[in-house]
Amino acid sequence: MVALNGRDLLSLADLSSTELQELLQLATQLKSQQLKLRCNKVLGLLFSKASTRTRVSFTVAMYQLGGQVIDLNPNVTQVSRGEPVQDTARVLDRYLDVLAIRTFAQQELETFASYAKIPVINALTDAEHPCQVLADLMTIQECFGSLSGLTLTYVGDGNNVANSLMLGCALAGMNVRIATPKGYEPDHEIVEQARAIANNKTEVLITHDPEIAAKGAAVLYTDVWASMGQEAEADDRFPIFQHYQISDQLLSFADREAIVLHCLPAHRGEEITEAVIEGPQSRVWDQAENRMHAQKALLASILGAE
């Protein structure tokens, strides 16, 4: 079993290619119940952003490992009254075994991790969403048997999901193409980081043409056009992003056996059509389920479950 004993996961770049593959294998074994692990530990969830899948999947995963979960809603803790991050981190470090944080700034997550001795997991920041991409890669591997050499095309806003997809695909030996409108590209530093990981063995392409990006792809992936915290921009973004929709037309450019993924929640009729998300090539619900299995594998590995 992959051993990440006591380590943080702040970014997918914290993993090696081997560790990523071993985590996906462990997640598959846990899902199929080939392997059962126990871990009598306590997970804290400190979420400053709304959450359905991340909150529930982490909670169920920890309960199934035999552990406990404390939901640390910022609105009912001293965080909401301005307690410094470093103070909260050093206190929670004395109570918990592991902490998953869902917040805005990546820097806040990194500061928290620097003051807490317990492992800290990135449950989403504005910069990255590594746990989502673990589940995405698990889902793709279930469908195709292997990840190496496949092409994933992401269409839409170059957001935290796009950033983590680039890193995850590079680690997995996949080609990744990101198609966004001009001015909405993914983080440049993460693009270069992904290219360094890929080391010219696979493609990391940024383009403004979704049809070029989709050509021959095994996976088409999208997310909402305006992420949490960007709701005020939604009306302005709508005309800019209309060409960046996964529809039957765009799907026709992909491989005939291509699958479609969406990290949810979905705005049907915007970034994805009703016909596609409910169609035979959609694997969105398997993808959502796999959040629990991938995170269970991550928790088990970090906490040394047996």
- Which residues have a catalytic role annotated? 102, 129, 132, 223, 263, 291
Q: Where are the alpha helices (DSSP H) in 106-205?
A: 106-115, 130-144, 160-172, 188-198
Residue 140 contacts residue 168 (beta carbons within 8 Å): no
Helix-then-strand count for the chain, H and E: 12, 9
Cα distances from 15 to residues 10, 171, 298, in angstroms, run: 10, 8, 11
Q: Where are the alpha helices (DSSP H) in 48-148?
A: 53-64, 85-95, 106-115, 130-144
Cα distances from 25 to residues 4, 38, 95, 255, 298, in angstroms, run: 14, 17, 31, 26, 11
What one-character-per-residue DSSP string does 27-63 give? HHHHHHTSS------EEEEEESS--SHHHHHHHHHHH
Strand order in the sheet with 98-102: 68-71, 42-47, 98-102, 120-122
